[in-house]
Amino acid sequence: MKKTLLALALTLFAGSAFAAHGKLNVITSTADLASITREIGGDRVEVTSVARGYQDPHFVEPKPSFLLLLRSADLLEVVGLDLEIGWLPPLIDQSRNAKIRPGAPGYLDLSRGVEILDRPAGAVNRSMGDVHPLGNPHYWLDPANAVRIAIQIQRKLAELRPSDAAFFATRLNDFKSRMNAADKRWRAALAPFRGAKIVTYHNSWPNFMRRYGLNVIGFVEPKPGVPPSPSHLFDLINKMKREKVKVIVMEPYFDHKTPRSVAQRTGAQLLVLYPSVGGAKSGTDDYFSLFDTNIATLVKALKN
Amino acid sequence: MDLLAFLAVPFVAGLILTGIHAYLGLHVVERGVIFVDLSLAQIAALGTTIAYLAGHDLHDQVTYFWSLGFTIAGAAIFAVTRSHRETRIPQEAIIGIVYAVSAAAAILAMSKAPEGTEHLKDMLVGNILTVSWRTVIATAILYAIVGAFHWIFRKKFLAISLGEEIPHLRWWDFLFYTSFGFVVTSSVAIAGVLLVFSYLIVPSVAAMLFARRVGTRLAFGWVMGALVSGLGVLLSFRFDLPTGATIVCTFGAALALLATVRPLMLRRAQ
């Protein structure tokens, strides 16, 4: 046991020695934020994501290493809008790192500076039923929001490390131009299918679909985390047949049974798209390749 | 050192859980109502869900009283249905039915709730790694009160669990399940159902392998619970595994080891 503790102590010590060399230690809640942070921070930052791309970011099982990661963080970046509310707040509390508490300079909630969809106008109360009071948290799946995320990250990095501000600004400009070029390519690829009707499993693709002119007409899951009732599925299947929906989109971590049976009954194709960087073993290594992979999959399915 | 502080909270939480659960586990195993904790925890969760549906915040006092009210109702059900001699329905059957129906009722309630309920389950089930000192202390106080209550009336509670007939039996039974419900509801909120179940059942089962007397079994259970908590927390940090599940598996391994060692020890004793 003593050896174990010693090994852990050495790891911790090595961690703090690293920080002393001047690299900013950035922890992100999701792999997408980590990818964009790497684009901006380059070799001046050390970036680690808590959630892996293949995990549902709503549910992450806390592990001891997360506490150690957060403990030595200079900056914590979160998606916000309650996406991480089930697991991150107690980890922040227990990490005892005052720098990254909400409100502290080392806490960056990226939902503050992006375009949020499905946000109810005016006051929200429970009588309104199906409403997420803060808006849809899956906003990163839109290149325009990726740029907005990058801008916020660049500002924050420059604030925490003023000596490298010019470096971050150059990298942001480079990121923006590459992102614009890539977005044009993606739009062109999906242009022939503008207005195509699609059903998704979870309401996690509104930003993506709107960006590329695709029309989500329903969800397999009536409410997040609630299994569909027979009448919901019946209505969905009829609507899909009526409107000739050819594609159902789902994330890899949801149960395939229900969407597969809906696909079989309607003749639609069930597509697995990756919502996050690192969602698949290959082809989703960074934000750009994530979109390349997803859009290629969509184009192939819509062509049929 | 920082790391020790990280290790300390789950370990101390484990000790506190051991303290009360190893004791209550003796009763539960003796009565043969093994899954009563899961059932009561599920009723409490149903109460919380319904309070949430009625528009109360999860951490509201009102919500807590809802879940407490449901737990007490559950305790009443278990006290009333105790060993139905005439029909010979085992109590474990009632416990199972209550579990299944309240779990399903919670799903129905959630399907009527507004969006944003996907975290509800997560928030009801705690994680021993991220529990705070404040919660640990508050829980320790609550358990101390329940423990004192059980110490004062230990003869009554023990008599019922050993199957003796005493006056006002159903009333004492109701008090037993209510105090048990208090404990289980708080412990599930800090440690999750799997871990609470293990703290309750494994130490007392292991103790039964080696001891007959209640006092000896309790002491055995406490020592085992403390050792397994410490080892489990260390393993979890060493190999970076989810802490609760690591402790549960350590309990399983420890029980298997004790069961293997037992015949050898008994042979030597002869």
- State the DSSP string of B38-77: HHHHHHHHHHHHHHHHTT--TT-HHHHHHHHHHHHHHHHH
**d(C-alpha B220, C-alpha A264), whole Å:** 58
Angle at B16 between CA B61 and CA B29, to 5 degrees: 100
**Which residue in B114, B119, B131 is closest to A58 by CB distance?**
B119
The confidence score (pLDDT) of residue B56 equals 82
Q: Give residue A130's pLDDT.
A: 46
Q: Which residue of A has its CA nearest to B113?
A: A129
CB contact under 8 A, A67 and B9: no
- Is B168 in CB contact (< 8 Å) with chain A? no
End-to-end CA distance of chain A: 60
Q: What is the pLDDT of residue A235?
A: 93
Using an 8 Å Cβ cutoff, are A64 and B240 in contact? yes
CA atoms within 13 A on the CB side of A292: 12
ipTM: 0.76
How far, in Å, CA of A109 to CA of A85, rounded?
13
B149-158 long-range contacts, Cβ below 8 Å, gap at least 24? B149/B179, B150/B23, B150/B179, B157/B27, B158/B27, B158/B214
- The alpha carbon of residue B59 and the mean position of all alpha carbons in its chain are separated, in whole angstroms, by 21
Determine the residue of chain A that is closest to B127 in CA distance. A62
Q: What is the pLDDT of residue A129?
A: 44
**Coil/strand/helix, residue B135:** helix
- Give the angle B225-B230-B235 at the CA atoms, nearest 5°: 120
Facing B118 at nearest CB: one of A64, A129, A224: A224
* Chain A touched by B89 (CB under 8 Å): no
d(CA B270, CA B268): 5
Q: State which residue of chain A sits closest to B233, comparing Cα positions.
A: A64
CA distance A65 to chain B (A): 6
Distance of CA B152 to the CA centre of its chain: 21
Sequence-distant (6+) residues with CB within 8 A of B77 are: B94, B98
CB B131 within 8 A of CB B246: no
Find the CB nearest A64 among B6, B113, B123: B6
For residue A270, the cross-strand partners are: A248
Touching check for B59 and chain A: CB below 8 Å?
A: no
Q: Identify the pLDDT of residue A128.
A: 45
The single residue listed with the structure tokens 């849809």 is A136
pLDDT in tens, chain B (270 residues): 567 778 899 999 999 999 999 999 999 999 889 999 999 989 988 998 888 888 887 777 888 899 899 999 999 999 988 765 677 888 889 999 999 999 899 888 887 776 556 556 666 667 898 888 999 999 999 999 999 999 999 999 999 888 888 888 889 999 999 999 989 988 988 898 889 999 999 999 999 999 989 999 999 999 999 999 999 999 999 999 999 999 999 999 999 999 999 888 877 766
| Nearest CA among B123, B106, B104 for reference residue B60 | B123
Half-sphere exposure of B191 (CA within 13 A, CB side): 34
Closest CA to A38 of A28, A50, A51, A52: A28
- Digitized pLDDT (tens) for each residue of chain A, 304 residues in all: 455 555 555 454 444 444 445 899 999 999 999 999 999 999 999 999 999 999 988 888 889 999 999 999 999 999 999 889 888 998 999 898 999 999 999 999 999 999 998 877 665 554 444 456 788 899 999 999 999 999 999 999 999 999 999 999 999 999 999 999 999 999 999 999 999 999 999 889 999 999 999 999 999 987 776 778 888 999 999 999 999 999 999 999 888 889 999 999 999 999 999 999 999 888 899 999 999 999 999 999 999 8
Three-class secondary structure of residue A46 per DSSP: strand
SS3 A77: strand
Nearest to B248 by CA among B6, B10, B7: B10
| A129, burial (CB in 10 Å: exposed 0-12, middle 13-18, buried 19+) | exposed
**What do you get for the CA distance between the two ends of chain B, in Å?**
49
DSSP state of B89: B
Return the bridge partners of A197, or none: A215
Contacts across the A-B interface (CB distance below 8 Å): 100
Q: Spell out the SS3 assignment of B100-114.
A: HHHHHHHHHHHHCCC
Q: Which residues of B touch A82 (CB under 8 A)?
A: 116, 119
Question: Residue A26 is encoded by which pair of tokens?
Answer: 């950035």
Total H helices, total E strands in chain B: 11, 0
For B27, counting Cβ atoms within 10 Å of its Cβ (0-12 exposed, 13-18 middle, 19+ buried), the class is: buried
The closest of A262, A273, A269, A268 to A296, measured between CA atoms, is A273
CA distances from B268 to B254, B257, B263, B264, B265 (A): 21, 17, 9, 6, 5
CA atoms within 13 A on the CB side of A149: 30
Beta bridge partners of A76: A27, A107
Please tell me the distance from the alpha carbon of residue B113 to that of residue B121, in angstroms, as a whole number: 13
Residues of A in contact with B132 (CB under 8 A): 90, 93-94
Amino acid at A273: L
Measured between beta carbons, which residues in chain B are less than 8 angstroms from residue A87?
122, 127
